[in-house]
Structures are given as structure tokens and as C-alpha cells.
Structure 1
């Protein structure tokens, strides 16, 4: 469902950019190399992120390939168009101090929220930062997916509808238990299949709502939002912390729900950079450099 929604959003973006070049409603026969390249140039002028432009190109490439197979286009106009290269960068991981500040902000009522829901905000931060979930995965959690007890965990439905089990720290589980009492007062129902995370009005949280609440917490905690999706930096923090404490990369892959271990491998580099930065913190290191 999320993939289809993202695909429709990309095509809507292409429609706007192509129609800006054509000055009229775009038709299948208007999908030519020159028109597409002009739209791409406009995307560059709009300063869309390279990763966003790369995704848009991939979406249109798939559509054009389909139209050629259906004999609705004589040739593939995307054949000679290269996707923008995404610059290589390490994932951003927050420090312990930043996570503490974020939790402190979550625990305090947001003066601009009507109504405020600090118990919900705390659980959102913990599920993302101490469970490593994507925002879409957190939004998709059901009551039955939370498993309390001596070994608390979350059953997570990830990409490709693949399920995985994420163990939870007892302290995180205790916060979820406190939240559940609040949830019982605000939920329309308590069936096992109803959403775990709900708004104060009883409606389910969406990925966009989670991102909005995380962005508000960043601002209130004085944390500069990293590039990319707001909530994803907390997932990065979880992954880097797992590598920092020596969890094998294959196990980190399973915890994150990555299809390929190569995707998880970037956290090895991020962890090394994280540890190098930490090693510069002790006073002895500053004394050695004369600072």
C-alpha cells in the first residue's frame, strides 16, 4: 500500500513538471527524450535532493518500459537518460545526549499541541530509537504485535510484507505498558487488530503524522533535523548503537529487516566514525593535543 502510494506521488510530480514544459495536459505521446530532459532540468533548478530525483527517474523509467511493452510508445524515451547519482554519505546517528534531550522534550507537554500527548510521543521515540523501526512500520503496528512479558518484543511487518521480531528492553516495554493505559482511554476499540499507536482523538497514526511529531520534538529539543525523513535518523541511531556494542552485522541486518547485508554494511563505517568522534571526547586526549 505504501509503495503504491509513493508511486502515485512520483507520477503526480512528473505530471506537474512535464505539463510545465508542455503548457498543456501531458499525454502518452508527449513522453519524449527532450521533454523529459527539460523536466529534469527544472527539477535541478528546484533543488530537489539527488535521492528524490533518482527515485523519480526510476519511477518514470518503469512506466515508460511498461508503455513500450504495451505498444503505446514506439521507443523508450528513458533509455538514454541516466538517474542522478546519490552522493555517498554515512547515516547520521544521534548522541546519547541528543536522545536524552529528545526524550525530555517528549515527556513535557507540547504547548502548541491540542491536545498534548506526551505518553504517545515518548513511545514513538522509543519504538524508533530503541527498536529501529521505520516510521511506516511503526504506523502499521497492531495491538497484538506488542508482546509483553519477561522477554518483551514487537512483531514488525516490514518491506515485502516480511515479518521480523524485534526484542525490547524491559524499560522500553514498561513505557509502552504505561502508554497502553492512556490508549485505553482514547481508543475506539481494543481488538487485537486495532492500531497500537493512536492519536488523542482515537484515529490511527500514519507515517506522515509520526514524522510531523518527530519534527516537532526535534525543534523543541533544539536538535537540527538531519537530511531525509525525520524519523529515519532514529533508526540509524539504533543501528549504529547495535554495531557499537558488538552485535554481529548479520544480526543487525535481521533486526532492521534489510533484504541485503550490503545495505546494513554502511553502519560498520558509520560506527567507526562514531567511535572515532567519541574517542576525542576524553580530557586526556585534549591534553595530549594541547587543547
Structure 2
């Protein structure tokens, strides 16, 4: 174990946590990446100092990861961690230049994001199962069903992340401006417009929460329908997957809350929304992340063809 490098890594993590205000998840990932790299350099090259680390060492480590079948996306995340760490070392005057200048990131094959078609989302909105005749209702007519239904509505109508959903506060729902204020990655706030219908659903839910539960976590918008405590990620993930699977809302393999975020963005772009506006709504740092939603569905292509081609 290289105590000097480990100590330096902890200084860096404190910096991004306290000054940069990175999320706990990001800080944990960066720490794991750095400690993994330091373990490798210690095993392969001995007790090196930060000034001894070269691009050859970094390349060697990355090559070993790819030999172990690590994806290009994961490797690029580790490269990003190292780049940030060495920039920190330069600012601390521990280095004059970073060894990352000669490290080339592997190319990532971008897959189009999956999404639920408008027919599937209409079934959820109307609360009518497209497949079950014996049980045509998707969401039960009780507080639990109403909680689950509102979760789907907020995901689809705002495109927020799972972490943003479970941290939503009641006071951040603005009736006057018909909007919600979301705390995104890195502590960045953004305002997302909502419809009158969604505002009414949220208002009814808040009133129902006070009627149904003797105790619930104060301030939090969405709570567990039985305990009244703040929702936790696994609960929401399993709930979303169950509804999408049981009622065959989509054939897409990975049925997760993030699929609803993809659906929000895809439906906006497919219906002509400006890409920069979609970027701001999603809370993306750059337009590059949003450009994956510019794909066109087969249904759209057929529609354009039938409307525009003289022989259609």
C-alpha cells in the first residue's frame, strides 16, 4: 500500500466533495478509480511518488483493464478520474505537467437509447392495461396506486433522474409559475415547467398523504405509501420495472426509471423540440450528451413518407 499516494487521493476527494460539490456517488467512484490505479502502480512499479507516474504506467493499467473485458465507457470514466486528479496535483504545485496528455481515450460505440412509444405511455396515463382483460386497471385505486401513478407521471412529464425524484421537496413545487425546482448533479438547480394537470395531481397527492398517513417525513414530496418515509432508489426501480413488465408496456429489455427519462427526451425531440431546450430540461452539462436523442423512429419515417411522397 502506497500511503503517500492514498493520502493525496483523499485530499483530492475532499476537494471535489467540499469545494466542487460533487455528488457522493461521483466521489466514491473517483476514489475507487484512484485507489485501483495506485494498487496497480505499487504492484507493478513499487512505491512510486506522484511525480514518478508516467503516461506509460497509465496506458499499461488501462490496457490491463481492457484485457479483463472492461467496457470503453468504464475505461473512459477512469481516465476522467485520473485527469481530474492530476490537474489537482498541478494546482497544488506537486506536478508541473500531467501524464495524461499522451493518453488517448478509447472510442465508445454509441447505442441509441431505448424508449417507450407514445401508445405505451398513453396506456399508463389512461390507467388501462393494453394486455390484460381480466385486470384492465394498471394502478390500484388506493394511496399506494396513486403514489406509483404519480411517480410515473413525474418521470415522464419532467425527465428527472431517479435521485432527483426521491429528493424532491414540497416547497419546490411552484403553483404560480407551474414549475418544479430540481436539485441536479453537482448541486446544480434547474427549473422544469409542468402542466396544470400534473400540478393538480401533485396537489391531490399531498392532500391525500396527509389524510392517509398519521406520520410521514416532513418536506419530502413523495413518500413510501406505508411507512411514510422518503422513497429509496431500489423501491422505485423495482416498482417501475414491475409495472412495465406486468402490463407489457414496452419490449425494451432494461425496464428502469431511466427509460422514462429517455422517453421524455425522445418524445420531445421527435415532436420538434429544440435540442438546447431539451438539454436544459435534462440538466446535461453539454449538448453532446443530448444529441443521442436526435434519432428518428420508424413510425416517424413512415409518417413523413406517407405525407410527402407522391407515390405513398
Q: TM-score, normalised by structure 1?
A: 0.70
For 2:69 and 2:34, the matched residues in 1 are separated by 15
Structure 1 residue 58, shift from structure 2 partner: 0.3
Distance 1:247 1:78, change over 3 A: closer
Does 2:205 match 1:183? no
Tell me what 2:223 maps to: 198
The match for 1:119 is: 146
2:25 corresponding residue in structure 1? 5
In 2: Cα distance, 1:196 partner to 1:12 partner: 33
**Pair 1:220–1:38, CA change in 2 (3 A):** farther
Name the stretch that deviates more: 91-100 or 30-39.
Answer: 30-39
Question: 1:241: Cα distance to partner?
Answer: 1.8
Q: Which has the larger radius of gyration?
A: 2
Q: List aligned pairs for 1:78-117, cutoff 5 A.
A: 78-100=100-122, 107-108=138-139, 117=144
Asked if 2 retains the 8 angstrom alpha-carbon contact of 1:155 and 1:163, the reply is yes
- Residue 155 of structure 2 corresponds to 128
Does the 8 A contact of 2:22 with 2:187 survive in 1? no
Q: CA deviation at 1:59?
A: 1.0
Q: 2:213 and 2:43 mapped to 1: Cα distance? A: 49
* Change in 2 beyond 3 A, CA 1:108/1:259: same
Shift of 1:258: 4.1
Matching of residue 137 in structure 1 with residue 164 in structure 2: yes
Distance 1:244 1:224, change over 3 A: closer
Structure 1 spans left out of the alignment, 5+ residues: 110-115
Aligned partner of 2:9 in structure 1 is none
User: Residue 192 of structure 2: SS of its match in structure 1?
Assistant: strand
2:159 alignment partner, SS class: coil
The answer to whether the aligner puts 1:231 opposite 2:257 as a matched pair is yes
1:108-135 deviation line (CA, Å, top 9, x unaligned): 47xxxxxx94333222221111112122
Whole-Å separation in 1 of the counterparts to 2:263 and 2:163 = 17
User: Which stretch of the first structure deviates more once superposed, 57-66 or 198-207?
Assistant: 198-207
Unaligned stretches of 5+ residues in structure 2: 1-20, 130-136
In structure 1, which of residues 12, 22, 29 is the aligned counterpart of residue 49 of structure 2?
Answer: 29
Alignment match, 1:40: 62
CA distance in 2, matches of 1:240, 1:188: 39
1:232-251 Cα deviation digits (max 9, x unpaired)? 33222212222333344444
Cα distance in 1 for partners of 2:207, 2:114 equals 34
Q: 1:142 to 1:218 in 2, by over 3 A?
A: same
What does the per-residue CA deviation read over 1:70-128, in whole Å, with 9 as the maximum and x for residues that have no partner? 3546763433222222223433332023335667689447xxxxxx9433322222111
Structure 1 residues 49 and 129: alpha-carbon distance in aligned structure 2, compared to 1, 3 A threshold: farther
Name the Cα RMSD after superposition. 4.1
SS of equivalent residue, structure 2 residue 228: coil
Residue 112 of structure 1: aligned partner:
none
Task: Specify the SS of the correspondent of 1:156.
Answer: strand
**What TM-score comes out, normalization by structure 2 length?**
0.66
